[in-house]
Every structure is written in C-alpha cells, then in structure tokens.
Structure 1
C-alpha cells in the first residue's frame, strides 16, 4: 500500500506550492489527500490573481494524523494565515510532529509551525517576511532552498519546489527503511 500524504490547505494556497509537490509525490507513487476545513473545493492563488480550484478529498474534521505518513503545508499568504487561526489545523500539525512524521512547510506555511509551538530550537527557512516570526519563536533561520531538521522540512519559495519535493520523498523513503528494520 502506498504511503499517504496529507496536504492541508484552504482557500488562498499558493497554486504552485500545492500543485507541483502533489504532482511530484503522485508521480513517485505516493497517495496525496487534500484535507481542508472547507468542503467541496478550495481555490488557489496564482501569483497575482485567483488560480485553479482543487477538489477537497477529506474534511479536516474527519482527518486523523494516524492515518497518514507525512504532512505537506503549502504556502501563500492567505492559506497559512487562515489555517493558523483554526485550532484543529494547528493541532493536526502538532499531531504529525509529535508522531515524528515528516512535516513539510513552504513559503509562509512555517507560520503554522510557529503557531503550533514547534519552531523553538529548530533550523528552518521560509519566505523572507516570515523570518522574524521564526526568530521570535526561537528558530535559527537559514537562507537555503530546503532545510531539514529531524522531521521538519522547510523551503522558501516556489523556485525551491524541486528541492522541497525531493526532501519530502527522501524523508518518506527513510521512514520506510526504518519501519522495515524494526
């Protein structure tokens, strides 16, 4: 059975930061599931205007971190800002981290890691306007296309998506290797 990856998003997600990692993960043989507090579909933001809609596969209220192998958090300004005000979304991020599962956040999505209290003592990256929030939360900010600190994977921007996707896949492969060795 393929490993399942939750993509937690709502309206205003950065189009490329959901679509491209999802495509890369699907092509690598993983099952991606879009989870949202919204029903039906959510609409992306594509650079300067509204973009495509994406079907919501599962309601956040019905989702459980135990049923997934990793969490992907697309950025954009609106999406993570809305989600960090949603207690269930923040708790979902905590649940994945507490289980030691990969949590991958790009662009503004590390705001959710800050809100969940998970940035302190971690090496992270994000969109430049989020750096001060990370520093204030106790993280060390590195200006790299991808930063991996244990189970946390962070990236800065759409141009980092290839490295971001590769880091997620490597974390999932490592997870399988560890479970096989156990």
Structure 2
C-alpha cells in the first residue's frame, strides 16, 4: 500500500498558508491502489508560534502541533505533519523539543473564540475557569462577557482580530486580578 502524499501545488500553497489564519482543504493521493483523502488543516497564528490542527476522513478526532512561527521551513514541516497524520504515523521530527510551550492553551482558546466570533468558552486560568461568551456584532466588532460565579464584566472588542486579541487578553488578566483581590479581601 502506497503512502498518501500531498502534490506539488499543495506544498506551494502551504508555504503561504502557514503565514495566515484559517482553515484549508488539501487532498492527499496514493497511486497503487489509487485512492485519495481530504484533509482539513486549521492554522492559528499566535504570539510566538503557530498552532496547526489536522482532521481527515470526516473524523472528529484531530491532531494538533505547535511550531515556532519564526522558522522559514514551516511549510515543509506542516506538510510532513499532514502526511504523517493521514498515514497514521507519528509526526516525529515535525515539532522541535519544547516548541509546544510557545503557545499556551489560554492564548489558543482566546484566539479561537475571536476567529469563530461566537460561542461560550471555559478558559483554563489556573484554579479558576472563567466563562467567556462572545458574539459578533453586525458592524464587525465583538460583544464579550467574562463571568466567574456572580462576578461578570461586559465589553466590546474592535473588529480587527489582532487588536481584539490584545484587548481581550488584557481585560481577562485584569478581571482575574480583580476577582482574586476580591476573594482575598473577603477572606
């Protein structure tokens, strides 16, 4: 059985796609026996790294990897990750040691919430799990509510996703600080 591989056009597209946020479709093919698989690749640009998730064959199971966004060979690394994932191999040699530390779960979840523009998310913030509700305003901005127990704050984020992430991360940081200070004062 031949391995499923990306074609040359997909490799060229990946070189550009690793610098973008979004979800991309790639078809991998094998010659003998002739078959193909459609893979969905989601790329999220973060502060120090990029997070790549691959889903294939309509499965709900997806595998993700975090890569250093400063490397010039990320297109080839993502291609290896896609091919390894679809063929059921381990993606050895794709991420370097400790690259996964470049993107926190919290940053990834905040960026995902902004990209999706709607929904409810429970954020990993140490011992606290604040709830984030986000919806896209018709003019492009975002309406946001952060909540822990009975404490809540509402605000609007700008339409620009980079600025929106920065403002959201800052509001969350201050909200958690104020919540912890209130708990300490009540104790």
More strand by share: 2
Question: TM-score category by the smaller chain?
Answer: 0.3 to 0.5
The structure that has the greater radius of gyration is 2
More helix by share: 1
Bigger RCO of structures 1 and 2 (CA < 8 A, at least 6 apart): 1
Provide TM-score, normalisation by structure 1. 0.33
Provide TM-score, normalisation by structure 2. 0.32
